[in-house]
């Protein structure tokens, strides 16, 4: 998304009593790597592999099973939907820092508030510099991370100023 369009999009999602301090989109590959390795993705992949194996074993010894075919279709559909979600999240996620909170928006026709954290609940930020020029910012009190942003040091300094 073009920078001016992104700014308009973010302004539409910010509340009237908040001041926009910073916004940015993550690098797609960082989101993809993180979500691809997540527990839920591994669970979907394991379910699909088990459904395939169970279908093969049942077909070999007992013949075709309609119920197992349905389970197989559901398991593979779950994997496909998970990968579609990861793609959507990687392409449409926008991090927004306001004077009162850190918000994760999903870009669509209008901003969809995906996650929101008050600044006083985040805890101390910890910057992890990436070798590719994109940084990650971890927070001590929540299990969320701002992944793959350029100029992570700038984000961290703006965040610390906003908390004062």
Tokens of 116: 């929101």
83 and 97 fall within a common domain: no
The answer on 144 and 65 residing in a single domain is no
Rounded Cα–Cα distance for residues 34 and 86 (Å): 9
CA 134 to chain centre: 16
Kindly give the parts of the chain with pLDDT less than 70: 1-4, 163-164
Asked if residue 97 belongs to a domain, the reply is yes
Q: Is the domain of 104 the same as that of 153?
A: yes
Spatial CB neighbours of 102, under 8 Å, sequence gap ≥ 6: 95, 96, 116, 117, 119, 122, 146, 159
State the pLDDT at residue 8: 83
The pTM score is 0.80
Q: What is the pLDDT of residues 25-71, one digit of tens each?
A: 999 888 888 888 999 999 999 999 999 999 999 999 999 889 999 99
How many domains, the chain?
Answer: 2
Host domain of residue 73:
36-87
18 plus 44 within the same structural domain: no
């Amino acid at each position: 998304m073009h920078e001016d369009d992104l700014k308009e999009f973010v302004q539409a999602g910010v509340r009237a009593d908040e001041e926009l301090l910073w916004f940015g989109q993550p690098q797609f590959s960082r989101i993809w790597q993180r979500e691809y390795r997540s527990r839920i993705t591994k669970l979907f992949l394991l379910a699909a592999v088990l459904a395939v194996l169970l279908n093969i074993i049942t077909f070999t010894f007992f013949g075709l099973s309609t119920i197992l075919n349905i389970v197989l279709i559901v398991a593979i559909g779950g994997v496909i939907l998970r990968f579609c979600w990861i793609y959507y999240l990687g392409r449409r996620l926008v991090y927004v820092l306001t004077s009162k909170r850190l918000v994760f928006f999903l870009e669509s026709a209008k901003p969809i508030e995906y996650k929101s954290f008050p600044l006083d609940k985040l805890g101390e930020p910890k910057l992890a510099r990436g070798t590719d020029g994109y940084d990650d910012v971890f927070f001590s009190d929540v299990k969320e991370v701002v992944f793959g942003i350029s100029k992570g040091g700038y984000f961290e300094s703006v965040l610390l100023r906003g908390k004062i």
